[in-house]
Amino acid sequence: MRVDIAVVGTGPAGLSAAINARQRNKTVALYGSADLTEKLVKAPEITNYLGFASISGEDLADRFKDHLKAASIQIIPQRVVQVFAMGDYYALQLSDQTFAEAESVILATGVNLGGAIPGESDLLGKGVSYCATCDAALYRGKEVAVIGYNAESIQDANLLSEVVAKVHFVPFYKDLGGLSEKVHVLEKGKTAILGKDHVEALQVGEDEIPVSAVFVIRDAVSPDHLVPGLETQGVHVAVDRQGKTNLPGLFAAGDLVGRPYQYMKAAGEGLVAGLAASEYVSKLNRPQASS
């Protein structure tokens, strides 16, 4: 079923966008962590959220969850791998390799303050990949590396080990439970991806390991990789006051669109984008899906 609006991200911007779109009677699919964003949950004390002189991130997150419940919105706990502008609708590729469809999309994925690994951006598509299930088959019989930041990277390393000659794994994630014995785990160190026209080696600490591909598996990827064709300004998505991007029907809100990185500002922008997307969908004049 094609929903009216897909919201990507479960921080204040995404939640606020989803709630406001529901209030405008739009069908909404909300994708992200069911425990909400870590940036919120891990905040020890918030003192500038209107109505709460002092509240912990965890308590504010609980309030947000109650609000979602009241609005009958359930979080779909899947990672959105990529969003495709199909012309008159959007297709979202999910981490279980299925596709979902939406008339409009609101991006609220936050900003990745970690930054790229040296060589990552230059060699993207030239051996650097963000999707093991997508590109594993290109490296049959070759040696590859996985730089893993999350639980999904363990599964991806296992999957690759079934297809390629050898998998090296750089763990930026603590829990390696379930990692296949076939995967060669490296000592974490200063990491860089080396190569001129294509990936030739992975540098970890003092060692250089010759590999044909490096799979970087983390939660947040750069927005212009998440949505091919999306216009960005540095690490942020370029938007107007309505949260509109250069792609018709695609909106963005929260830390992703710029500073200050504040919960209140994100929630406000989520509201603006939620209403702008609702208006966009209403103007499409499509037969209404029952909600």
Partner 1 sequence: MTKQISAKEFYDQVEQGQGVTLVDMYADWCGPCKMLAPVLDEISAQYAGKANIYKIDIDQNQEVASRYQVMAVPTMLLFKDGQLVDKLVGFMPKQSITQKIDAQLV
What does the binding site for partner 1 look like in residue numbers (CB under 8 A)? 82, 84-87, 91, 93, 97, 99, 124-127, 129, 134-135, 137-138, 197-199, 213, 228-229, 247
Which neighbouring-strand residues pair with 237? 232
Q: How far is the CB of 141 from partner 1 (least distance, A)?
A: 12
Q: How far is the CB of 89 from partner 1 (least distance, A)?
A: 11
Burial of 261 (0-12, 13-18, 19+ CB in 10 A): middle
Nearer to partner 1, 64 or 90 (CB): 90
Nearer to partner 1, 226 or 266 (CB): 226
Separation of alpha carbons 156 and 173, rounded Å:
13
Nearer to partner 1, 9 or 127 (CB): 127
Which neighbouring-strand residues pair with 76? 31
Q: How far is the CB of 68 from partner 1 (least distance, A)?
A: 29
Q: How far is the CB of 236 from partner 1 (least distance, A)?
A: 20
The kind and range of the H/E element at 99 are strand 99-107
**What are φ and ψ of residue 97, in 5° steps?**
75, 10
Nearer to partner 1, 82 or 112 (CB): 82
Strand order in the sheet with 183-185: 128-129, 213-217, 143-148, 166-171, 183-185
| CA angle, 28 then 32 then 35, to 5° | 115
Separation of alpha carbons 163 and 97, rounded Å:
17
Closest CA to 60 of 41, 77, 32, 37: 41
Nearer to partner 1, 135 or 269 (CB): 135
Nearer to partner 1, 113 or 165 (CB): 165
Q: How far is the CB of 174 from partner 1 (least distance, A)?
A: 30
Q: Is 68 helix (H, G, I), strand (E, B) or coil?
A: helix
Q: How far is the CB of 251 from partner 1 (least distance, A)?
A: 16
